[in-house]
Chains A and B, each alone.
Chain A
């Protein structure tokens, strides 16, 4: 029994030979990782989202200024604080020829909500029911007023799949996904490439100037760059900051460098089990001192050639919810020493810092170590494999953890789950009644000004409590051939094929 399966699989591996049959150019994109399941309900990886950018359209999308703009929906409206109404474009088709209508939206949203293993449930858990008003109108009714719900639909939770294909494939849908994006699935060889071909029935097909996209997995950043330099790739995502100069000097290449939505920071264990019982975990003064002992700009300069944006907030400056009156504190060793003295902690204060075992993270740890030493801290850098460090976080088996967050379009996605008492990602064990109330209220109101004020208060309180110490906002550094035009940089780091052209 085993032999036929293996033999068939062997044949599939060796003889899979699709041919491009169109005159439009093929765009080759180098991804830094292998995508996981190609099913918008199950997918969890960042690079998977990039592939979905070609494969699956969403109800709504983000523009360069992080506004929510129409995609499959030609418009949306908050009927009240719990009811969101979408009007779909007429005549849209899925890759299998079936129609994109209100029933398909209802089916996909319920699939996101109920399918076993769904990775979307958490993002849209506040959704109570989806009602079909007419074939092109859907009404989504929420359990409680939730302002960030709309932003969640600009990502995988807003992707609509063909109900016919999904029903037929069941759990195997990810082997041959059928959506309503500009490109349809052709083949995938795990860890090597994913091929998509232009979909002629796409609703916005005039925006598509490519015949085929091949997403190639090239994990090693120097090799990704070498592929770009040799012309084997047209776009390479996540060029390392230290390679930026090499790209700039190459007349055949260009760069798009822009702020992302995510941050890098240190999570302190302030109330999660036994390991919170250190001067660092118990005393906000000690954490404030640590915060003042670090020169963020110098850190970014040393480790990342100055390419990232130093920051003391979880939200990027581009967001309307960034608190411009809470800048990153300048390094002040004298004040840090004074705060330590005031806290009464015994010197040197030991900081057991967990870092991921990659070269840049370890280097960041070492830079923090030498800076903090001057103020009276003894930072012990402990390199750990990523999966093991997550496990340790969940058990509360850490004192300080250098870890990032990829970021969400809405401010709530960068704050609530980390700071609200009992929230799933609050591994710090932080709990503040005031902050909880502000976070709850910022979810409930849809008015941007009112939410700005609430997130501003949270930013101020954060500088006193310092349960997380944000270090910098990530930047996306995308390298591409000068033949590529029309790439639109948007803070979510996706590569949207709409409008991209490739000269011969």
Chain B
């Protein structure tokens, strides 16, 4: 177990290095000269040349890459070309926002998706099953931006219960913070809940047909003990994997929702950076996202073992 974990941690280093090279090369393929975007409406050749010189854009790619990665290794992510703030500071401002939003969305998703999946599996082909499936399908097929705007119009504009958009940090005023994030978290969680529900349902259906479930029933255990303690525990392994992946996706995949609710998060940071060809920000954000993603997978690996003791020998 410990050796396995050690290898997994060592694998992280080359993975992140590859990611850094990949991102660096990929953005070179984007059409659109960063100097042109930065220069805005004034496209004087002299100005362009000066911008290129200042940002090292006139040097060979390999040199640009090593200059950047060298700085990153000493903790310096560089400056945003567009707004001239340090990338580390931007990430520091945005990461807590997205983590908060992602965590809330995930809690919402799990507390809706998993129970619905269980209920639906236990009542297979019954009314509750169809109902849960119907809700799940609706959740999956509702576009986030549409649901977001509808919620704003209903809850903020018509009823005036919650602020329509924006963000207040947790440390500043936790009530306001929850008030500004609950709608986007619900929108994000809604789609994930549907996926979790479908997976929980099918994993539970498989588990409920296993021999040990029959044995448990034969022992005279109540149905809920059988379902929750015996079947669910085994059914959860694939659900945890999926959960970890979805949580990772939340980091960068919340773009549309962040845009609709004007939440200054990670997704919005990277999308704006891509459109503005703000390379240092794109690189920094992708690297941090990759680190978080890889760490989440690592945590999922550890969780498998905790949930399913049989994996401990592996």
Contacts and interface: CB of A to CB of B under 8 A. Distances in A.
Interface string B58-92: 00000000000000101110001011111011111
B290 to A, nearest CB: 15
Interface in B208-248: none
Interface in A221-236: 222-223, 226-227, 229-232
B84 A218 contact: no
Interface residues on B, range: 35 or more
A21 interface: no
A417 to B, nearest CB: 9
B83 A5 contact: no
B260 A220 contact: yes
B54 A117 contact: yes
Interface stretch (A39-47, A141-149, A178-186, A265-273): A39-47
B50 to A, nearest CB: 7
Interface stretch (B38-46, B119-127, B306-314): B38-46
Given A190-B264, A218-B262, A386-B275, A405 B41 contact: yes
Interface in A387-404: 387-388, 390-392, 394
A503 interface: no
A498 interface: no
Given A119-B39, A123-B42, A192-B166, A5 B88 contact: yes
A172 B84 CA distance: 8
Nearest to A225: B157
Interface in B252-276: 259-262, 264, 268-269, 272, 275-276
A223 B39 contact: no
A425 to B, nearest CB: 6
A174 B81 CA distance: 12
Interface in A1-32: 1-17
Given A119-B40, A119-B47, A189-B264, A13 B54 contact: no
A118 B51 CA distance: 9
A406 interface: yes
B57 interface: no
A424 B92 contact: no
- Specify which of B36, B89, B91 lies most central, judged by the most chain A CB atoms within 10 Å of its CB: B89
Interface of B: 30-33, 36-47, 50-51, 54, 72, 74-76, 80, 82-86, 88-97, 149, 152-153, 156-157, 160, 163-167, 169-172, 259-262, 264, 268-269, 272, 275-277
Which of A11, A36, A425 has most chain B Cβ within 10 Å?
A: A36
Contacts, number: 192
Nearest to B156: A230
B43 A424 contact: yes
A37 B83 contact: yes
5 contacts: A9-B93, A14-B172, A17-B171, A37-B82, A387-B277
Contacts of B89: 9, 12
Given A13-B96, A15-B169, A390 B32 contact: yes
A500 B164 CA distance: 25
Contacts of A7: 92
Given A6-B92, A9-B89, A219-B259, A232 B163 contact: yes
A117 B36 contact: no
Given A219-B262, A232-B163, A391-B32, A10 B40 contact: no
Contact of A191 (B92, B260, B268, B277): B268
Nearest to A11: B92
A175 interface: yes
